[in-house]
């Protein structure tokens, strides 16, 4: 655990940092000199003096609150939060969706980011500065059959983001959605390759996206100068 409270280093919280986009972003911001707090259900392979990893089940309210208890204790503040963690456990026709699956995906993809936003705003509001990025999906534009459940969770986050941005704008906090194109991660590997190709064919850019596309967009949104960019849903890949 890192006890260094350095006001010069931005403090960034990234959910789902043990793999995929979250793991990339954690490493990316460590290389940029940020203090990174990551959390996920599993341990993480990042070993860096400026990295704190907190194991937390994001479907558990107490464990989410504990993440913020640690941040308050160790760092006293939070500058940036990236709600990255998401699951897509079943690509199924709505007629076959088990209730338990609906509950699980909403717990991680909707309830958890809302809770993270709630607690992050409380930390940011006192400093009158904050940048919140919620990861979205091009699924909300493409409306692919079999993806109704996952798509509905991401559409929920889009709406939540837009309303939250209006609530916290006067406190210097911006809230935006970055919706990547298909990126080669474990989440996308679980989806049928032919279906992915068909969806990508609808974009202006028909190839897979790169991780740097995501960090590049987030870099822009978290800049102090981007104070008027809020409540936006930025689709990558020309969706």
Q: How far is the CB of 116 from other proteins (least distance, A)?
A: 14
Measured from the CB atom, is 125 or 148 closer to other proteins? 125
Question: Per CB under 8 A, does 60 bind other proteins?
Answer: no
Question: Per CB under 8 A, does 126 bind other proteins?
Answer: yes
Question: Per CB under 8 A, does 69 bind other proteins?
Answer: yes
The Cα 177–Cα 87 span in angstroms is 17
Can you spell out the DSSP letters for 116-182?
HHHHHHHHHHTTT-EEEEEE--THHHH--TT-HHHHHHHHHHHHHHHHHHHHHGGGTEEEEEEE---
Tokens encoding 199 = 């969806």
Tokens encoding 10 = 């931005």
Q: How far is the CB of 126 from other proteins (least distance, A)?
A: 6
Cβ-based neighbours of 131, under 8 Å, separated by 6 or more: 79, 80, 81, 173, 174, 221, 222, 226
The Cα 43–Cα 70 span in angstroms is 17
Q: How far is the CB of 132 from other proteins (least distance, A)?
A: 15
CA dihedral 125, 38, 157, 155 (to 10 degrees): 160
Question: Per CB under 8 A, does 171 bind other proteins?
Answer: yes
**Selected binder of other proteins within 9, 19, 41, 72 (CB under 8 A):** 72
**Selected binder of other proteins within 47, 170, 201, 228 (CB under 8 A):** 170
**Selected binder of other proteins within 42, 93, 98, 122 (CB under 8 A):** 122
Question: Per CB under 8 A, does 227 bind other proteins?
Answer: no
Measured from the CB atom, is 125 or 191 closer to other proteins? 125
Q: How far is the CB of 16 from other proteins (least distance, A)?
A: 23
Can you spell out the DSSP letters for 89-100?
-----GGG--HH
**Selected binder of other proteins within 91, 125, 148, 234 (CB under 8 A):** 125
The Cα 192–Cα 231 span in angstroms is 32
Q: How far is the CB of 57 from other proteins (least distance, A)?
A: 18
Q: How far is the CB of 73 from other proteins (least distance, A)?
A: 9
CA-closest candidate to residue 81, choices 136, 46, 36, 48: 36
Tokens encoding 216 = 């590049």
Q: How far is the CB of 125 from other proteins (least distance, A)?
A: 6
Total residues binding other proteins (CB under 8 A): 9
Binding site for other proteins (CB under 8 A): 65, 69, 72, 121-122, 125-126, 170-171
């Amino acid at each position: 655990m890192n006890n260094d409270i350095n006001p010069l280093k931005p403090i960034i919280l990234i959910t789902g940092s043990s793999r995929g986009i979250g793991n990339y972003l954690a490493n990316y911001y460590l290389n940029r000199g940020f203090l990174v707090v990551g959390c996920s259900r599993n341990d993480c392979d990042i070993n860096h003096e400026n990295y704190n990893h907190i194991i937390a089940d994001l479907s558990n309210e107490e464990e989410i609150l504990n993440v913020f208890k640690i941040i308050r204790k160790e760092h006293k503040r939070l500058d940036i939060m990236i709600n990255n963690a998401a699951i897509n456990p079943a690509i199924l026709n709505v007629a076959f969706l088990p209730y338990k699956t609906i509950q699980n995906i909403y717990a991680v993809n909707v309830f958890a980011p809302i809770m993270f936003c709630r607690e992050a705003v409380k930390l940011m509001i006192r400093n009158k500065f904050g940048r919140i990025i919620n990861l979205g999906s091009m699924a909300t534009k493409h409306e692919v059959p079999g993806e109704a459940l996952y798509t509905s969770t991401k559409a929920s986050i889009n709406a939540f983001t837009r309303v939250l941005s209006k609530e916290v704008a006067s406190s210097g906090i911006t809230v935006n959605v970055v919706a990547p194109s298909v990126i080669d991660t474990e989440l996308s590997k679980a989806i049928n390759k032919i279906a992915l190709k068909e969806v990508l064919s609808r974009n202006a850019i028909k190839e897979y996206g790169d991780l740097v596309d995501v960090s590049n967009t987030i870099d822009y949104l978290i800049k102090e100068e981007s104070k008027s960019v809020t409540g936006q849903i930025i689709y990558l890949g020309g969706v």
